[in-house]
Structure 1
């Protein structure tokens, strides 16, 4: 028998802890965890997509964990509560398009990234607070039992837990912003505009960024690529000088970046709706800035969307400018598929061809994994080129990071949304644009057309663009070659692009209101 004041025997400890694991307490905890997972799957199947959703889920996860810890009084709650919650969530989650919320695929790096962006974010916002909350609950429930009479409570670990929760909450709550345009005195320039704002398009809230040194300048709407790409920080940093001559509007299209929360229902996320949204946004900008028309610049997928928009409502646009112009997605993919097989033969790498063939010929069924694999070969397929020194310098010093995810225009959740939007929206939209072929369907445009021709662009894209342009009929049509540029011409050679817009496009097309 243990002497007075010695440590309790193991049997004594077991007797103390056994009541905390009885069936009633355990059943209550399991039911609570399962119910919360079920509700999360029904209400937010993609997890948190906005700042407010993330804060609400964090509070819910913390509360559930705290209650589980108090009820069970066992550290097992740190494991069983999040585990049951996740099992219920995954079993009840509806079928969703997109790799970040769809089937888990950890056999490829892209699938791992999708898992981290979707389930990983959920783990950070919900499961981590749930585990920390359970730990706090156990501490609160058991401190009067495990602490010797007269001893001071051990608050160090709980204090650290609270600190982590506060830090995570603060990081989620930090707002996004676009910096003001400053004058020579370092103060916001009078008459300028620099804002992030929400617009209602097609029944969905979507975000635009507006920047210009003067609101009296003509409006230029920039359409990003993808589908699903967001590039707000790049537009701010790279096209800053052009915003002296234009009010530049960069739009996170539905399902992209800051507009990722609008991705569902994916049944209405269609090219036709994107065209309608473009026209609706154009009319909104015309009214706000008192302009008869605006300029439309489209890159990659945005160049497809731009052509479709000016086809439908040419009276709204002074001109269309295509960068990384796409003509036929299906034919481009077929040619790239062949180019990858040729590259495999040329480099003596049969594994490359075997992998490419394993996805089947375009149009690919295994989206977006087949496209990502093909994309990984582009550097070897491009003609050698070096983007402008100014562009490379901005890329090295801007601090906005890959895909601009560290730009001030995004809060913490939106940094995830930038990449989630590119993955998921691409998966939804890409099959729907397979039948577009401007060689057949856009032989005439009723607006001036300027095509930025990156001479190092993939031949699978450029050859189709040159073929389409040669047959195109338009009031003005100009093909402008850009050396040391490929797909993202407007950015890679942004200084020359600015000269083109100021010295050629504006004088030829603009009529002041």
Structure 2
């Protein structure tokens, strides 16, 4: 889930996405060139590469960036499903690259990977376990390519479902797990998000919002969580800052990032939107059954980045789970001016938190 609601919103946008959504003028080309030049890794021991490699029968696109190959490696599992971070990481990541080598990949059905794959062949494979297997295979691939014993695994939103399961299945691959906008129990998240939206709407005297929300109450209740109910339930929590603190439901800065991304061209951008439509019906039902509440032991250090205003994947269940779970090391880091989009909303604080709480956990064996 970066997040199921983004998936729903992007699916709507995808229906109208055309070539007009891609910049073609001289000014646009110059702007892209400036960003590409700023993003160039020029240090002697740096790495900068974007390429496709076969993983689980699908050509996955991978992006690797960092100023020193000796730095710890972050493997970032994006949200959505099918909302890749590759076209927007230029907005927040440049500082990370001085201290980490950062790896992104477009998951099956997402972005550049969706563009290069046979959609009919991939459609039947879109299940959580397959995404987890992909993440593990990519971790093994990156570990060998960069000569590392282990990686730092970071998941965002939907990517926390994939990331948590990958860490539980193969703890030997990872120094630590970092959850950003962590999903713990989907139905609980839905209830808390709905209650927040209704409480804010009533306090605001927003009769339209109250009427819409009460029309699906109790939510989720005992009824199926359908796409139509999700759209109503999530509309108003986002309006009141539950996705982007202080920005209402605004996401233009995130959607627009791909227009200037050095890694994405026009066809990739269209695939970004199309991938959301492609994956929606395939994964929604399974996603709605996700539940990590029974997990009482976590095999590796775990750090949770918690947005104080996050009501897309509400932070309270994650903080409570972290309090009671047994792990070699655990830490909660609160972001007081962020909701769900922490790296984009508080990029400086995110880097500081990675340096203070995560990088010290990444100690390589001298024999590697």
Using structure 2 for the length normalisation, give the TM-score. Answer: 0.81
Mapped pair 1:242 → 2:96:
yes
Task: Describe the superposition over 1:411-470 as per-residue Cα deviations: whole angstroms up to 9, x where unpaired.
Answer: 211111112223432332222122211112x22111100111222222961111112111
Task: Describe the superposition over 1:14-35 as per-residue Cα deviations: whole angstroms up to 9, x where unpaired.
Answer: xxxxxxxxxxxxxxxxxxxxxx
Give the equivalent residue in structure 2 for 1:475. Answer: 328
- Runs of 4+ in structure 1 deviating by more than 6 angstroms, as ranges, are 108-112
Out of 435, 452, 455, the position equivalent to 2:289 is: 435
Give the equivalent residue in structure 2 for 1:279. Answer: 136
Residues in 1 aligned to 2:260 and 2:327: alpha-carbon distance in whole angstroms: 41
Out of 83, 87, 90, the position equivalent to 1:233 is: 87
* RMSD value, Cα: 3.4
Is contact 1:192-1:213 (8 Å) kept?
A: yes
Higher relative contact order (CA 8 A, sep 6+): 2
Q: How does 1:126-137 map to 2 (within 5 A)?
A: none
Q: Counting strand residues as a fraction of each chain, which structure ranks higher? A: 2
Give the equivalent residue in structure 1 for 2:297. Answer: 444
What's the offset of the Cα at 1:336?
Answer: 2.2
Mapped pair 1:324 → 2:181:
yes
Q: How does 1:283-432 map to 2 (within 5 A)?
A: 283-356=140-213, 361-362=219-220, 366-367=226-227, 369-377=228-236, 378-380=238-240, 382=242, 385=245, 402-432=256-286
What's the offset of the Cα at 1:199?
Answer: 1.7
Q: How does 1:29-428 map to 2 (within 5 A)?
A: 113-117=13-17, 179=36, 182=40, 188-261=42-115, 262=117, 263-264=119-120, 265-356=122-213, 361-362=219-220, 366-367=226-227, 369-377=228-236, 378-380=238-240, 382=242, 385=245, 402-428=256-282
Check 1:349–1:417 CA distance in 2 against 1; reply closer, same or farther (3 A cut). same
Give 5+ residue unaligned stretches, structure 2. Answer: 1-6, 25-31
Give the equivalent residue in structure 2 for 1:28. Answer: none
Is contact 2:194-2:234 (8 Å) kept?
A: no
Larger radius of gyration: 1
Residues in 1 aligned to 2:229 and 2:192: alpha-carbon distance in whole angstroms: 14
Out of 454, 457, 462, the position equivalent to 2:315 is: 462
Using structure 1 for the length normalisation, give the TM-score. Answer: 0.59
Residue range with higher mean Cα deviation, 321-330 or 493-502: 493-502
Q: Counting helix residues as a fraction of each chain, which structure ranks higher? A: 1
What's the offset of the Cα at 1:191?
Answer: 2.4
What's the offset of the Cα at 1:374?
Answer: 3.6
Residues in 2 aligned to 1:234 and 1:472: alpha-carbon distance in whole angstroms: 33
- What SS does structure 1 have at the residue aligned with 2:318? helix
Give 5+ residue unaligned stretches, structure 1. Answer: 1-99, 101-107, 125-166, 168-174, 388-394
What's the offset of the Cα at 1:357?
Answer: 5.6
Task: Describe the superposition over 1:37-69 as per-residue Cα deviations: whole angstroms up to 9, x where unpaired.
Answer: xxxxxxxxxxxxxxxxxxxxxxxxxxxxxxxxx
